[in-house]
A and B are shown apart, each in its own frame.
Chain A
Amino acid sequence: MTTELKIDIAQEQERVKKQIAEQGLRVLVCTGTGCIANGSLKVIDKFKELGVNVSALTDYDKMTIVPTGCHGFCEQGVLVIIPELHTAYVKVKESDVEEIYNEHIVGGKPVERLLYVDPNTHEHVHKSEEINFYAKQVRTALENCGHINAECLDEAISVHAYEALSNVLRENNPDKVIEEIEKSGLRGRGGGGFPTGSKWRFTAANKGGKSYVVCNGDEGDPGAFMDRSVMEGDPHKLLEGMAIAGFAVGADEAYIYVRAEYPLAIKRLRIAIEQAEKAGYLGQNIMGSDFSFTIHIKEGAGAFVCGEETALIASIEGERGMPRPKPPFPANKGLFGRPTLINNVETLANVPVIMRKGADWFAQMGTEKSKGTKTFALTGEVNNTGLIEVPMGTTLRQIIFDIGGGIRGGKKFKAAQIGGPSGGCLTEEHLDLPMDYDSLRSVGAMVGSGGLVVMAEDTCIVEVARFFMNFTQHESCGKCVPCREGTKNMLKILERIVRGDGKMEDLDTLEELAHAVNDGSLCGLGKTAPNPVLSTLKYFRDEYIAHIKDKKCPAGVCTALKSYTINPELCRGCSKCARNCPAEAIHGELKSPYKIDQSKCIKCGACVAGCPFKAIEQS
């Protein structure tokens, strides 16, 4: 039995289409956190100031500056896209705006120097869709990020917001929604990769009393920002996904748990919730149906462990964010002891698209067991860093070399850390591995939330392991012994090794501990904390041994293992190094070779940087 709705979404879409057509020349300026930091708000003001006269100087009636969410290509910010002129400008500053306006908008001639330059071909690229970084992507969760004004409900409706919800409510068949999600093969995008449809079904099985939907927006992996991008760039999509989930599992109340470090995401979500409630897309009797759904925002205080679902629930309840054992699973006993569906932002952002375009459309992307697309936060030693979305199963090579534009400075690829502090490292032998849940797990890594740090030959892998272990140790909630004490001891050992004080037995202890922490910890944080150590030990054991036995850091990174010497054949005795040395460790007589006193040297490298004859060598 279908339900008559009071809001006709098709009519709404017609209305907003007309509105947008009346906007004249649309100039999209990114106002994601990264671009704001680069001055995008000033760019917008300048455009607005100039745009006043646009009808007098051009054929356009007016010019509308659209502050959008994140485009993903943050390192090239501020990004300015003018769709009608088929042009994307990068690294735009306030001072560039006048030139763009005068030369291109008025004069019709693109400003070449502000176009993206392909790092490999060195050619200027005009259209954003022709930039390799974008060209090889397939966007589902991020489809509207960077294309709409995130603070405007009408713009969201113009790109199908609430269309899927409208269909779902009209059909009024929660079970069918769950079936569709099951059929799509969508799996949790927050790290675990648990089939989303099954999770919904388990929660729906407890229908009857009070149930909750919780959206996990406590994005904590260092470098990952896909969830933030969705919340900042397309908040209505998330709200719609949550409402559909709530309808499917029989929940009428929901929480979005967002870290307080995301003030812009929180602001835009609040605006979006208010707009949606006012327009009847959220709140009581949504669109005139029997379904009511209210969404609250809970600001997290920034503990990494609160991304773990049971700790997140504890945190919403006002308790210290410490994970609870499972079973009971949240689907049976979650928030305030009630059945709770908890999904991550990206997962929920996929839902409206699946419901609108169909499970089959979604399932045709990806691999056999990992369907759809996945976002990755690509950082490290690649030419193009930023947020990308690709079909599941895309290889690491495609990501690093096609989208990422290869390794910076022509250096050699060494490894990629995937899945943040819970993940593992991938090496050259994995470049053609399809990036999906099961393939990654089979090599000791994981998709995780999609953090992807690319490392070149000059990265010390032991130091990387130490960095992540330091992170997990400090973010451990301290509840269970293996995680609290185990990671502490693993960290101490890694610190010893990078300091040059490691012993070969340390490697055995490290492995023993890694297995005990993995087996014995209470929650996912602890269970996965040893992954970076285990996988680097597996693929780069030689490097560990070099640190321990030879007291050498092959990548030349670990300060304690560096030593500087002056090549007497190249040194002309100019004394510059001695004058530059802050530790007074270099002595000699003018015009004869200088010497470094190793006991005084603090390995700062100031001498190397200043030597005009390249006489100082590092080993």
Chain B
Amino acid sequence: MGKMIINGKECEFTDESNILEVIRKHGFNVPTFCYRPDLKDNFGACRMCVVEIEGRGIQSSCTMPPQDGLVINTNSARVRRIRKTVLELLLANHDRECTTCDKSGTCELQKYAEEYGIKDVSKYSQRKEFKPIDTTNPSIVRDSNKCILCGACVRACDSYHGLQVLGFANRGANTVVQPMAGRHLSTSECVYCGQCAAVCPTGALTIKSQVDKVWKELTDPNKKVVVQFAPSVRVAIGEMFGLEPGVNSTKKINAALKAIGFDLVFDTNFSADLTIMEEANEFAERVTKGGKLPMFTSCCPAWVRYLETEHPEMLEHLSSCKSPQGMMGAVIKKYVPEYYEDITDENLVSVSIMPCTAKKAEAIRKQFRRKDGTYEIDYVLTTQEFGRLIKSAGVDFRTIEGIEPDSPFGKYSGAGTIFGVSGGVAEAAARTAYQMVTGEELTDVVISPMRGTHKEKIVELDLKGTKIKVKIVNTLREAERCIREIQEGKADYQLLEVMACPGGCINGGGQPQSCNDLSIREKRAEGLYEDDATGEWRKSHENPEIKELYAKHLEKPGSHTAHELLHTTYTDKWTKLYKNVGNK
């Protein structure tokens, strides 16, 4: 608590960890590249946020703790000169092929260059050597010629996941950020979460786009393109069109997809409900029949990949349920031709729209490959790519009139929609598990201790005498802690929900970039909880289309058909990844 003078204005501060936060809170701004409020590591590398403090000289505001009585100038000649020089030097060394850059329009370097009126950097040494772009990773494209070495990706990977997929190498002007020993991004322990791209201020790390391929299918008159979209997409896509974060755009999305030319629009929330049916059943069986516990949720492909590459010995804990995307893909390919006469195995194209870059890698898992060599999901677009799709189709998202989805896989319960936020899967599962175990309906469906985007939650449930302890974590660093707990015999919970992205899918690597504002993920979470609170059904087993699917096709959760269609297997990828690196 205290007061500082910022640009002549008296400004109060409370618990802000640095003066940059105070500066921004009071309506001023200084530019930043390397500062990301979620990465609390005091990095201070880009030197864009420098301010002049009386008696303290030049300080980077992102690393300087607030102190009573500081007198700060954010626009002195000295600091503006530093910022301008930094921008000029970065631009001189940058691949300035902006118009064809994936980040054009959202690039922070471009933005500040424009704001600071940088027009000529010819007096500085220009980048001469252009390195090839690394497109080997299924989710992420790395263009080192665009890298400004802010280190945000390195720190995100380490601080969220305890992984060092990217790191600094070499010294001086030869310094680079690269995967270990300069290898390709595909040969690393990357879990494809995309958080590196989510914090990248430039076009150095971008999402591998499938937009053009989807357009090709959409414009092919012989193809029938069926689409699903994930829970979190509905509360984030609006941001790309000037809507507030968290505004629920479900019906607008339905309409936009139809306007773009998709033939059928389904909702991944439906298959989230389906996942709950299967997963709650599996969990109940493990508890009653003595299966491997704690059971791990399997919705997050980055988490699945992490276990396969880092902890194959723990794979037995992982639920055999496919993720909601995977279940929907299987259901679409198997049953849509039965419901729609003009759609056949041959002309059906399955597209999903996800907040997640790892879903792109999940879709091409060998387990998701059909007998004819095609995949259950043909293309995965992220929310960002979906936004671009809408824009290039000329659809006015802001004004488009919302519509209902198609049947029979478009309806969803509130339980399905909260999958998008950390704790949502557990809460949804609890609503149905209660019914499965006790035979009674849970009346108070909101389990508030499971809510909130913080990294670790432990909740004990009382299913009328059967006590169940659930642990909910997000980020793989937290998950790794749980694995250690379990291996050391210190874990007393039976269910572990893991989401790799901080806060859950609402903050996925494919969502519109939001790394400078932590409130955005909160608003998106609120949007989903609001959707849950106002929907017609709040439990997965109440969803009439789910009931219909079981009645007509799957019989009951865990049935033979359900297993064939909705469950999957895992493989030890550790050996393949590390066999040349040494022994574990």
Contacts and interface: CB of A to CB of B under 8 A. Distances in A.
B82 A520 contact: yes
Given A320-B168, A522-B60, A480 B173 contact: no
Contact of A473 (B64, B82, B173): B173
A341 to B, nearest CB: 21
Contact of A325 (B60, B81, B151): B60
Interface in A479-512: 479-482, 484-489, 492, 505, 509, 512
Contacts of A320: 167-168
Contacts of B60: 325, 522
A324 B41 CA distance: 9
A480 B47 contact: yes
B86 A520 contact: yes
B82 A522 contact: no
Range, interface on chain B? 35 or more
Contacts of A477: 171, 175
Contacts of A475: 171-172
B45 interface: yes
Given A520-B58, A522-B60, A484 B149 contact: yes
Interface string B64-99: 110000000000001001100110011011000000
Interface string A523-554: 00000000000000000000000000000000
Given A322-B168, A485-B173, A486-B85, A480 B125 contact: no
Interface string A510-524: 001101100111100
A478 B173 contact: yes
B170 interface: yes
Contacts of A479: 45, 149, 151, 168, 175
Contacts of B58: 519-520
A324 B42 contact: yes
Nearest to B65: A327
A474 to B, nearest CB: 5
A249 to B, nearest CB: 23
A303 interface: yes
B63 interface: yes
Chain A at the B interface: SS class: helix
A229 interface: no
Given A505-B123, A519-B58, A478 B86 contact: no
B172 A487 contact: yes
A521 B59 CA distance: 10
Contact of A480 (B45, B64, B65): B45
B171 A481 contact: no
Chain B at the A interface: SS class: loop
Given A476-B172, A516-B81, A481 B89 contact: yes
Contact of A520 (B85, B123, B148): B85
B116 interface: no
A485 B86 CA distance: 8
Given A478-B175, A509-B123, A519-B82, A489 B45 contact: no
Contacts of A515: 81
B50 interface: yes
A516 B44 contact: no
B215 interface: no
Interface in B114-154: 123-125, 148-149, 151
A513 B44 contact: no
Contact of A489 (B89, B170, B172, B174): B89
Interface in B401-457: none
A11 B92 CA distance: 70
Contacts of A521: 47
Contacts of B90: 481, 485
B46 interface: yes
A39 B172 CA distance: 37
A516 B173 CA distance: 17
Contacts of A513: 85
A618 B168 CA distance: 47
Nearest to A485: B89
Contact of B93 (A322, A476, A485, A509): A485
B543 to A, nearest CB: 50
Given A478-B149, A489-B89, A522-B44, A484 B172 contact: yes
Contacts of A478: 149, 168, 170-175
A476 to B, nearest CB: 4
A453 B174 CA distance: 29
Interface string A325-356: 10110000000000000000000000000000
A136 B121 CA distance: 54
A513 B82 CA distance: 9
Contacts of B125: 488-489, 492
A243 B44 CA distance: 34
A327 B173 CA distance: 26
Contact of B44 (A480, A489, A492): A480
Given A485-B90, A515-B81, A522 B173 contact: no
Contact of B173 (A322, A488, A520): A488
Contacts of A324: 42, 44
A521 B89 CA distance: 13
Contacts of A519: 58, 78, 81-82
A320, A473, A515, A520, most chain B CB atoms within 10 A: A520
Contacts of A505: 123
A476, A489, A515, most chain B CB atoms within 10 A: A489
Interface in A450-489: 473-482, 484-489
Nearest to B124: A489
Interface in B151-202: 151, 167-168, 170-175
A157 B276 CA distance: 76
B47 A482 contact: yes
B95 to A, nearest CB: 15
Given A478-B175, A485-B173, A509-B123, A520 B42 contact: no
Contact of B86 (A325, A476, A482, A512): A482
A474 B172 contact: yes
A581 to B, nearest CB: 34
Contacts of A520: 47, 50, 58, 82, 85-86
Contacts of B172: 473-476, 478, 484, 487-488
Contacts of A303: 171
A513 B123 CA distance: 11
A484 B85 contact: no
Nearest to B151: A479
A531 B70 CA distance: 29
Contact of B85 (A474, A482, A522): A482
A476 B172 CA distance: 4
A253 B129 CA distance: 48
A541 B60 CA distance: 33
A362 B564 CA distance: 85
Nearest to B89: A485
A325 to B, nearest CB: 4
Contacts of B47: 480-482, 520-522
A427 to B, nearest CB: 28
B46 A481 contact: yes
A512 B81 CA distance: 9
B450 to A, nearest CB: 32
Contacts of B44: 324-325, 480, 522
A513 B88 CA distance: 11
B50, B123, B149, most chain A CB atoms within 10 A: B123
A473 B170 CA distance: 12
Given A303-B171, A474-B172, A492-B125, 13 more contacts: A320-B168, A478-B174, A480-B44, A481-B89, A481-B90, A484-B172, A484-B173, A485-B93, A485-B124, A487-B173, A512-B85, A520-B86, A522-B44
6 contacts: A325-B44, A476-B173, A478-B168, A481-B90, A482-B86, A492-B125
Interface of B: 42-47, 50, 58, 60, 63-65, 78, 81-82, 85-86, 89-90, 92-93, 123-125, 148-149, 151, 167-168, 170-175
Name the 8 nearest CB pairs between A and B, nearest first: A478-B175, A485-B89, A325-B63, A520-B82, A325-B44, A516-B85, A488-B173, A476-B172
